[in-house]
């Protein structure tokens, strides 16, 4: 049996703490399901800059391309706040996404049991929310040319090709098959030509997935519906800028930043990371919430290693720990809280 190889990129701030927690969980999964997983660790972000190397050293990129999955903590270090953009830790993120051709960004937003009151919505509205946002990550307005600014005007270009829409649409339909088999494609087809192409292509791709229901929704309607009926969504598929905005909105409706995982996928290796940053204010204190990273590790099992049962068992173990009442400080609302390690060990015990 060929062992799976996972590259760990702890990065900065709380990154090393939460990545160690997720590694502990992945090792326990490997033991329980008799998989061989080899772990290697690479440097990225401020941790690399402090060694006098670029934020994304070549050696890290080579290791990334060779891995079956990459688990990243976070990058960002206040001591580089005044450095030029290319010499800041965050430059590593843009570069690794670009170099690995990661065109699909997946952000699940679900309400975990016992945390129905953690977000800003009424618990009865939030109840049952479990959606997966598919955001196109390498095209659209953020990358389109021409772009420019003069004294009196500025312009950007939103451009999509059939190929760009088709490849992410296929991934969204495939993902829906592992879920409740429903895709909502979000666009602005009443105004934008790119959205009309988006709608044509997603409709055509949908014909190859007759077992998945496809509907189309305008982005403004989607933004509203996320606040009054978030539980009505399964997979949301959308272009880069709409997804940037809607995925933050969806994350906010389900509550704490420390709980949110993400995956970025291309045609090769995938990158998995919590949505939060390096949280320098709590780094080194042992109180960071590891769940966003552990849930990202579950996504790595699901989407890169194709180990669905193992992914589900990690998600269920997180649920068990939360149902048992365990809360890290960010979730405790002033009540009793546990450390990063205690939360991790309870999740491992529940596996």
Residue 91 sits in the site that holds ligand NAD (CB under 6 A): no
- Which residue of 330, 338, 345, 347 would you call a contact of ligand NAD, by CB under 6 A? 330
Is 248 among the residues known to form the active site?
Answer: yes
Which position among 142, 143, 225, 316 bears the catalytic label?
142
CB nearer ligand NAD, residue 152 or residue 281:
281
Segment contacting ligand NAD by CB under 6 A, of 35-43, 139-147, 279-287, 309-317: 279-287
Answer for which of 135, 276, 302, 327 binds ligand NAD (CB under 6 A) is 276
Examine residue 254 and tell whether it contacts ligand NAD (CB under 6 A): no
Between residues 14 and 222, which has the closer beta carbon with respect to ligand NAD? Answer: 14
The span from the CA of 335 to the CA of 320, in Å, is 19
**208 noted as active-site residue:** no
By CB under 6 A, tell whether 90 contacts ligand NAD.
yes
> 109-139 burial, b if ≥16 CB within 10 A, otherwise e?
bbbbebbbebbebeeebbeebbbbbbbbbbb
Strand, helix or coil for residue 185: strand
- Closest C-alpha to 288, from 302, 300, 304, 277: 277
DSSP state of 338: B
Q: Does 278 bind ligand NAD (CB under 6 A)?
A: yes
Nearer to ligand NAD, 14 or 26 (CB): 14
**For the CA atoms of the chain, what is the radius of gyration?**
20
Which of 269, 277, 298, 345 binds ligand NAD (CB under 6 A)? It is 277
Residues within window 1-30 making contact with ligand NAD, judged by CB under 6 A: 14, 18
- The tokens describing 297, both together, are 């590790």
Structure tokens, 193: 């030509």
Q: Which has the closest alpha carbon to 69: 2, 6, 4, 3? A: 6
Contacting residue, 133, 235, 288, 298, with ligand NAD by CB under 6 A: 288
Decide if residue 255 touches ligand NAD (CB under 6 A).
Answer: no
Q: By CB under 6 A, is residue 205 in contact with ligand NAD?
A: no
Q: Kindly tell me which of 74 and 132 has the beta carbon lying closer to ligand NAD.
A: 74
Give yes or no for a contact between 209 and 176, defined as CB atoms under 8 angstroms apart.
yes
**Residue 279 near ligand NAD by CB under 6 A:** yes
Catalytic one of 68, 188, 209, 330: 188
Instruction: Pick the closer one to ligand NAD by CB: 24 or 196.
Output: 24
CA distance linking residue 170 with residue 165, whole number of Å: 9
Pair type for strands 130-136 and 270-274 = unpaired
Q: In this structure, what DSSP letter does residue 142 have?
A: G
Dihedral of the alpha carbons of 129, 247, 41, 295, in degrees to the nearest 10? 0
Establish whether 220 is a catalytic residue. yes
12 included as an active-site residue: no
Distance from CA of residue 292 to its chain's centroid? Answer: 9
Q: Which of 91, 212 has the CB closer to ligand NAD?
A: 91
- Catalytic residue (one of 31, 215, 220, 309): 220
Rounded to whole angstroms, how far apart are CA atoms 250 and 244? 10
| 169 is a site residue for ligand NAD (CB under 6 A) | no
Residue 188 binds ligand NAD (CB under 6 A): no
Report the residue from 76, 108, 206, 230 that binds ligand NAD according to the rule CB under 6 A.
76
Q: Is 346 helix (H, G, I), strand (E, B) or coil?
A: helix
164 contacts 103 by C-beta, under 8 angstroms: yes
Identify the CA nearest to 55 among candidates 99, 6, 114. Answer: 99
103 is catalytic: no
Q: How far apart are CA 237 and CA 166, in angstroms?
A: 11
Residues within the interface to ligand NAD (CB under 6 A):
14, 18, 74-76, 90, 93, 257-258, 273, 276-282, 288-289, 292, 330
Catalytic residue numbers, as ranges? 142, 188, 220, 244, 248
């Amino acid at each position: 049996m060929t062992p799976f190889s996972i590259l760990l990129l702890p990065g900065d701030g709380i990154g090393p703490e939460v990545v160690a927690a997720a590694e502990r969980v992945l090792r326990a999964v490997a033991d329980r399901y008799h998989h061989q997983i080899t772990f290697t660790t690479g440097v990225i972000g401020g941790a690399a800059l402090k060694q006098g190397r670029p934020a994304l050293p070549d050696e890290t990129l080579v290791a990334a391309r060779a891995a079956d999955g990459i688990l990243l903590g976070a990058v960002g270090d206040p001591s580089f706040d005044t450095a030029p953009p290319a010499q800041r830790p965050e430059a590593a993120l843009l570069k690794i996404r670009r170099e690995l051709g990661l065109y699909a960004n997946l952000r699940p937003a679900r309400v975990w049991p016992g945390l129905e009151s953690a977000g800003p919505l009424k618990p009865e509205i939030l109840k049952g929310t479990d959606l997966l946002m598919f955001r196109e990550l390498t095209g659209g307005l953020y990358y389109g040319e021409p772009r420019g600014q003069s004294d009196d005007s500025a312009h950007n270009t939103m451009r999509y090709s059939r190929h760009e829409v088709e490849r992410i649409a296929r991934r969204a339909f495939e993902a829906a098959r592992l879920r409740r088999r429903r895709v909502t494609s979000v666009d602005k087809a009443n105004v934008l030509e790119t959205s009309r192409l988006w709608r044509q292509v997603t409709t055509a791709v949908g014909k190859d997935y007759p077992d998945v229901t496809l509907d189309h929704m305008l982005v403004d309607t989607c933004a509203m519906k996320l606040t009054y009926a978030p539980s009505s969504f399964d997979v949301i598929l959308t272009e880069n800028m709409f997804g940037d905005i809607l995925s933050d909105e969806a994350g906010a409706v389900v509550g704490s930043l420390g709980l949110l995982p993400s995956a970025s996928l291309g045609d090769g290796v995938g990158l998995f990371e919590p949505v939060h940053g390096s949280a320098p204010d709590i780094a080194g204190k042992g109180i960071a919430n590891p769940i966003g990273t552990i849930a990202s590790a579950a996504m790595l099992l699901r989407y890169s290693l194709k180990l669905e049962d193992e992914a589900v068992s990690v998600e269920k173990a997180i649920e068990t720990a939360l149902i048992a009442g365990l809360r890290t400080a960010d979730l405790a609302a002033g009540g009793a809280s546990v450390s990063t390690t205690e939360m991790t060990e309870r999740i491992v015990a529940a596996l």
